[in-house]
Amino acid sequence: MSVNDGALAGSRDDMTTIRDVRLQDGVVWASAAGGLPISASQPLTQRAVKMAGESATRRIMLDFRRATLTHSVQALNWHAEMLSGLRPPTDARIAMLCQQPSEHLQRWELALQQRGHLAAAFTDGQAALSWLQGPVLEPAPSADQPQDLGSVKQLMQQYADGLNSAPHSQVVAEFTELFECLLANAERLGVDAMKGLEHQLRRHAQRRNRGS
């Protein structure tokens, strides 16, 4: 059985449903096979978040590759809101692993990112594990800590330095996620980030040509 869009749906009576939450190699796996009704997705996710807190791990894998799901974007939005309401640790990483990519999965991912969570959707199990087990991001500065641009740039430099020994595919995935987060926040603030990026790329190309 395969995951269609990662949305949470109703099961048929003749389907065997298997749900499991376990800790494996530092990752909390919440797996489902067969029918996964929306009524079952909440306790499954709650157990995963609770286990992550109790075991002090910050890695959660929602493995729905063998679950039978629907194409309902409303259900995915509900799941993202419910998951955020469980208040997972701020440095937790949450991956949803599905059989096929979809626009709905991207919306689930963005909905959680906009709520301040490190979340990503994957169709490749190894890529999902590499992202989950990557370097832990520095926590965001609190209200009494410096939040000027220089401090943010320093944190980003430390983050990039921590990826020196990471696989190239992981570096690409993490910087793509970081870029998407910056774009989402720029849009929220009414800033045309793409225009600024194009300007910086032209300046970078000019400096590189002068140096060659």
With 0-12 / 13-18 / 19 or more C-beta atoms within 10 angstroms meaning exposed / middle / buried, residue 114 is middle
Q: Residue 74 belongs to a domain with what CATH number? A: 3.30.750.24
CB 31 within 8 A of CB 19: yes
Residue 205 pLDDT grade (very low, low, confident, very high; cuts 50, 70, 90): confident
129 assigned to some structural domain? yes
Number of structural domains the chain divides into: 1
22 assigned to some structural domain? yes
Strand blocks (E) in the chain: 18-24, 27-35, 59-68, 93-97, 118-122
For the chain, the C-alpha Rg in angstroms (whole number) is 19
64 assigned to some structural domain? yes
Phi, psi for 85 (deg, rounded to 5): -65, -20
- For the chain, the average pLDDT equals 75
6-48 per-position pLDDT tens digit: 333 333 333 345 578 888 888 999 887 766 665 567 788 889 9
Residue 7 CA to residue 26 CA, distance in Å, equals 26
Structure tokens at 70: 């629907």
Residue 167 pLDDT grade (very low, low, confident, very high; cuts 50, 70, 90): confident
170 assigned to some structural domain? no
What's the pLDDT score for residue 201? 79
Residue 94 pLDDT grade (very low, low, confident, very high; cuts 50, 70, 90): very high
138 assigned to some structural domain? no
